[in-house]
Amino acid sequence: MTTTVELTKDNFDQTVTENDFVLIDFWASWCGPCKQFEPVYERAAQENPDLVFGKVDTEAQPELAQAFGIQSIPTLMIVRDRVAVFAQPGALPEAALADVIGQARGLDMDEVRKSIADQEGNAQ
């Protein structure tokens, strides 16, 4: 039984908007490291049933991959409160994925938004 949601251009925005915490695995069927990462990602999804684990097939959804500037796969992205708080290419080992999820859970999103606003203010 899969615990992940297949994300497409049709359901992506709704999924990210309606859920406070979404993990996104950008992958492709021909990608060896993606296949190695898949069981790790599935186990994490089973261990964190309160979070949404999504998968974007970059072959079937090239627009999404392009929109997020995905250069290599697998790439893991975490979106909290509609803010991308983590994005990293490469297959993470189980312990590293658990650590990243824990760190993302611990973020103070008010601080994150303030930091983004400060950076945007400095960029102008």
The set of catalytic residues is 31, 34
Contacts 24+ apart (CB under 8 A), 97-102: 97/40, 97/41, 97/44, 98/44, 98/47, 100/76, 101/23, 101/44, 101/48, 101/51
Please answer whether residues 109 and 55 qualify as being in contact, where contact means their C-beta atoms are separated by less than 8 angstroms. no
